[in-house]
């Protein structure tokens, strides 16, 4: 299925309705863009991951301090 869309100001575009419907895109999706070695562009949709959806997924090594944890995440520390 090939569809065409136009680039607008700010390099924005619209995903054609036929494609949105075929792969069940909704506003919770984000798009990952890759440029392949042959110059083609691959766009892969995935569900957005927000902080609240990740709560409870990780175990801590002991008692956790939520305020310190959030500060570390905001600072981008890898030793979190």
Main-chain dihedrals φ then ψ at residue 34, nearest 5 degrees: -130, 140
How far is the C-alpha of 26 from the C-alpha of 65, rounded, in Å?
Answer: 35
Q: Are the C-beta atoms of residues 72 and 80 closer than 8 Å to each other?
A: yes
The 10s digit of each residue's pLDDT in 26-77 is 998 999 999 999 999 999 999 887 666 666 666 777 777 888 878 888 887 6
In whole angstroms, give the CA distance from residue 22 to residue 29.
14
pTM over 0.85: no
pLDDT band for position 80 (cuts 50, 70, 90): very low
Which residue ranges form the domains of the chain, and what is each CATH number?
9-47 (2.10.260)
């Amino acid at each position: 299925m090939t569809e065409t869309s136009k680039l607008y100001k700010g390099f924005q575009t619209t995903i054609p309705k036929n494609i949105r419907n075929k792969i069940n895109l909704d506003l919770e999706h984000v798009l990952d863009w890759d440029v392949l070695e042959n110059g083609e562009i691959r766009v892969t949709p995935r569900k957005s991951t927000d902080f609240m959806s990740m709560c409870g997924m990780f175990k801590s090594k002991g008692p956790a301090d939520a305020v310190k944890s959030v500060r570390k995440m905001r600072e981008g520390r890898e030793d979190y």
